[in-house]
Amino acid sequence: MEAWLLWLILAVVLGIIEVFTLTFVLGLLGVAALVAALLGAIGMPVAVQIIGFVAASAAGVYMVRPIMRRQLTRGPMVLSGTEALVGRSAVVLQPVDRDKGLIKLSGEEWSARSIDEDLVIPVGAHVDVMEIDGATAVVYPREALP
């Protein structure tokens, strides 16, 4: 069996394994094996085929590494759920004290409590959501209260 055919079989096997593992590394090695198979098919000696395989593998890793690093270090682009509500502004619907209250936050009514235990926030005041504790928004008034 000729060497180029072995390279071709290796490329197909690596490609199939890549489909199931999704590591992307095996796909790069499969492409490098295709390069080696092409070199073998045009009559290059086995040493040149191996050099071609190594060079194509290194080139693939060199080109893909910055993209992968950027993807791994990027933080979440969009906050969702209760994390997205922290920092938002709301309007008080029922007076908010240290134990209870009601606010309108992002078009929904939320139970609320004041972050400052001695503070009672009146109806109509604008507040900022400091955190979400279960189903309760912990709030602080936006402007100084009278």
Predicted pLDDT at 146: 66
Number of Cβ within a 10 Å radius of residue 35: 19
Pairing of strands 108-114, 89-94: unpaired
Predicted pLDDT at 24: 83
Dihedral angle sign, alpha carbons of residues 82, 86, 90, 96: positive
Predicted pLDDT at 139: 96
Predicted pLDDT at 79: 73
Average pLDDT over residues 22-32: 90
Supply 42's token pair. 């045009």
- Give pTM, 2 decimals: 0.52
Please say if the pLDDT value at position 2 is more than 80. Answer: yes
DSSP 142: S
SS3 (DSSP) at 19: helix
pLDDT digits (tens, 9 = 90+) for 99-136: 999 999 989 999 999 999 889 999 999 999 999 999 99
Number of Cβ within a 10 Å radius of residue 96: 29
**Phi-psi bin for 43: left (phi > 0), alpha (psi -120 to 50), beta?**
left
Average pLDDT over residues 16-29: 90
Q: Compute the distance between CA of residue 96 and CA of residue 106 in angstroms, rounded to an integer.
A: 17
